[in-house]
Structure 1
Amino acid sequence: MINLDGTIVKQKEAKLSVLNRGFAYGDSVFETIRVISGKIMFWEDHYFRLMASMRIMRMEIPSSFSPEFLEKEIKEIIEANDLGTSPARIRFAVYRLQGGYYTPATRDIGYVISAEAMENSFYLFNDEPYEIELFKDHYVNSGLLSTIKSNNRAVNVLGSIYARENDYDNCLLLNEKKSVVEALNGNIFLVKGDVIKTPPISDGALNGIIRKQLVNILKKTEEYTLEETSISPFELQKADELFITNVAQGIQPVSKYRKKSFENKVSKNLLSKLNVKARLG
């Protein structure tokens, strides 16, 4: 079942025009949201990021788009897919309504909410081998547009194809200044001693929900020192640990980058803290 502009329909009946601006111009933003037994994880952060993304894209935000209304819409699609007591992954996409060419005929929007089951209620630690490499064919441009989740993800798609063709589990993306920005599907953190670094949003890094949660956790702990600073590719092989964060997986430790193998002690410790925060809401 799919929520199409507030109406729940069967997936095969959920149709968008081939002239839809999300398809024609990538004129769309989205949120990937984790729901556990009907509870939306980190909902406030998702809501405000979605609103910020719509503003950056100069979309008209409907007066009905309150946190309560959108939460109700998400919970209804969860129930419609019989996922009320299961972990689920939600994709909430907003697109500008059809019309115009590069210049839109309107700033009004439509939306689609879909749901699919997930295996685990909370984040599990994955210590399986996980090898990464740099993707250098194309760059992420620093600036606001790179910090939001939009349908313009060509670099991520091409990087994912490169990773699969070369038997890597993931790749790291660079910005135009040749600094490490993020992974294909999440934010990157680097551990050296008791210092943990992550690229700043100003470098073009996605304004990730789990990134924000970990930043808040790290600011309150005395175990580590957090630095939001640019990361050079040369620093990667000198690190003790690397790990990737996103809403679906939580924290994914990296085991190998080129000839360097990494520990996973810090990522394991932080994952337990993240799960505690998720449970508390």
Structure 2
Amino acid sequence: MTSAFINFNGEIVPANSQLLTTANRAFRYGDGLFESMRLMKGQLKFANLHADRLQRGMKALKIDGYSQMDAWFLKEKVEELAIRNKIKHGRIRLTVYRDAEGLYTPSLNKMGYCMEMQPVDEPRYFLNSKGLIMDIFTDLPKATNYLSNIKTCNSLIYVMAGIFKEQNKLDEVFLLNQNGFLCEAGSSNVFVWYNNHLYTPALSEGCVEGVMRQVIINIAKENNIGITEAQINPDILYEADEVFLTNASRGIQCVMGYGVKRYFNRLSKTLMDELNKL
């Protein structure tokens, strides 16, 4: 189910409006980035973290207007669109693109944006009742550079990972970086509980700088759970006691199996309880 209205460059219009031309740079070159967010009880969750990540991403891509995309702007636009769509709980995608002409070299660095909203029933985060079965997608290692941490519109590696997932009847896949170390999952960050310590790939390993990733790191520190951002050999997946994934839309998802290995989900339940207290 999709909402009836979207926000296109500040104007609320019907969601089925034909607004883009083939000259749009996000369509032609993947020239932009996006933010996935969660609406609960009519309010945008973690607005400050989303705004901070979005602004840093726009600065890195040299898209003008990043100062406009602050927490106040995000909350105002999300709540305005939610009221128009009569939605209290939902998932939001904000796409920001370079609104300019030109070939590879743009004529301008002007910002354009589109905000979409999808209603959901849940007023809180819920841990998945059935753990995920996963494997490693090895066809396309992810490069590690200053764009790796940004959720850009150039998402072909995730598209190919999704096709691999479907062809192999998996729930999700792990991605490796160019050096063969654990990077992230197809649409989430990865956490590994091993020897009573929590690990997650460091940003230097090429993972997306997830908002929920940072929230869980903060929760772990506040609850005296040892946590390290590190370079992680994927072989640890055979030895880990627990593995879970995080993103802003779903919160935490526990992993049940990788190959013949099976995991517990005690820590993910604890962290989910703490997350919902926020």
Question: Which TM-score applies when normalising by structure 1?
Answer: 0.95
Letter of the 1:46 counterpart: H
Alignment of 1:101-120 (within 5 A): 101-120=103-122
Cα displacement (A) at 1:68: 2.1
Return the alpha-carbon distance in structure 2 between the equivalents of residues 213 and 225 of structure 1: 15
Return the alpha-carbon distance in structure 1 between the equivalents of residues 243 and 260 of structure 2: 14
Aligned residue in 1 for 2:221: 219
Cα displacement (A) at 1:79: 1.1
Return the alpha-carbon distance in structure 2 between the equivalents of residues 33 and 81 of structure 1: 16
1:12 is paired with a residue of what secondary structure?
Answer: coil
Q: Contact 1:182/1:205 (CA < 8 Å) preserved in 2?
A: yes
Aligned residue in 2 for 1:251: 252
Does residue 147 (structure 1) correspond to residue 141 (structure 2)? The answer is: no
Aligned residue in 2 for 1:177: 179
Aligned residue in 2 for 1:239: 240
Return the alpha-carbon distance in structure 2 between the equivalents of residues 194 and 150 of structure 1: 34
2:134 corresponds to which of 132, 135, 141: 132
Letter of the 2:267 counterpart: V
Aligned residue in 2 for 1:55: 59
Does residue 69 (structure 1) correspond to residue 83 (structure 2)? The answer is: no
Return the alpha-carbon distance in structure 1 between the equivalents of residues 45 and 257 of structure 2: 30
Q: Which string of whole-angstrom CA distances, capped at 9 and with x for unpartnered residues, describes residues 212-252 of structure 1? A: 00111111222x21011011111111000000001111111
Letter of the 1:22 counterpart: A
Letter of the 1:264 counterpart: N
Return the alpha-carbon distance in structure 2 between the equivalents of residues 64 and 271 of structure 1: 32
> Unaligned regions of 5+ residues in structure 1, if any?
none
Greater displacement, 267-276 / 55-64: 55-64
Aligned residue in 2 for 1:230: 231
RMSD: 1.2
Q: Contact 1:142/1:204 (CA < 8 Å) preserved in 2?
A: yes
Letter of the 2:23 counterpart: L
Does residue 23 (structure 1) correspond to residue 24 (structure 2)? The answer is: no
Q: Which string of whole-angstrom CA distances, capped at 9 and with x for unpartnered residues, describes residues 127-180 of structure 1? A: 314100000000111122110111111111100110111011000000011001
Return the alpha-carbon distance in structure 1 between the equivalents of residues 222 and 12 of structure 2: 42
Q: Which string of whole-angstrom CA distances, capped at 9 and with x for unpartnered residues, describes residues 55-81 of structure 1? A: 010101166444323321221111111
Does residue 37 (structure 1) correspond to residue 38 (structure 2)? The answer is: no
Letter of the 1:7 counterpart: E
Return the alpha-carbon distance in structure 2 between the equivalents of residues 211 and 62 of structure 1: 23
Aligned residue in 2 for 1:122: 124
Letter of the 2:263 counterpart: F
Q: Contact 1:211/1:245 (CA < 8 Å) preserved in 2?
A: yes
Return the alpha-carbon distance in structure 2 between the equivalents of residues 62 and 156 of structure 1: 26
Cα displacement (A) at 1:93: 0.8
Return the alpha-carbon distance in structure 2 between the equivalents of residues 144 and 114 of structure 1: 27
Q: Contact 1:195/1:226 (CA < 8 Å) preserved in 2?
A: yes
Return the alpha-carbon distance in structure 1 between the equivalents of residues 42 and 67 of structure 2: 25
Return the alpha-carbon distance in structure 2 between the equivalents of residues 245 and 233 of structure 1: 18
Instruction: Say how many residue pairs are matched.
Output: 274
Aligned residue in 1 for 2:268: 267
Return the alpha-carbon distance in structure 2 between the equivalents of residues 116 and 34 of structure 1: 10
Aligned residue in 2 for 1:89: 91
Letter of the 1:240 counterpart: D
Letter of the 2:7 counterpart: N
Cα displacement (A) at 1:2: 1.1
1:101 is paired with a residue of what secondary structure?
Answer: coil
% identical equivalent positions: 32
